[in-house]
Amino acid sequence: MADEEFPKEDDTHYQIYGKRAWEVEYGEKCEKCGKRIDEFGFCACGSAG
């Protein structure tokens, strides 16, 4: 059993970004907080690319 198997309808991240959280490709790091920025150029701290 895979615990990550749950319906897309119940996946908030999927509804927002159109893909599952583990499918998002992370690249650059944020200059402000040092965390990874997602493929859309957004960081959790609110700083964009």
| 17, 36, 38, 47: residue in contact with Zn ion (rule CB under 5 A) | 47
**32 lies in the site for Zn ion, by CB under 5 A:** yes
Q: Considering the complex, what minimum distance in angstroms separates the CB of residue 48 from Zn ion?
A: 9
Q: Considering the complex, what minimum distance in angstroms separates the CB of residue 14 from Zn ion?
A: 22
Query: Where would I find the beta strands (DSSP E) of 6-45?
Result: 26-29, 36-38
Pairing of β 36-38 and β 26-29: antiparallel
| 33, 39, 41, 48: residue in contact with Zn ion (rule CB under 5 A) | 33
C-alpha–C-alpha distance, residues 30 and 5, integer Å: 30
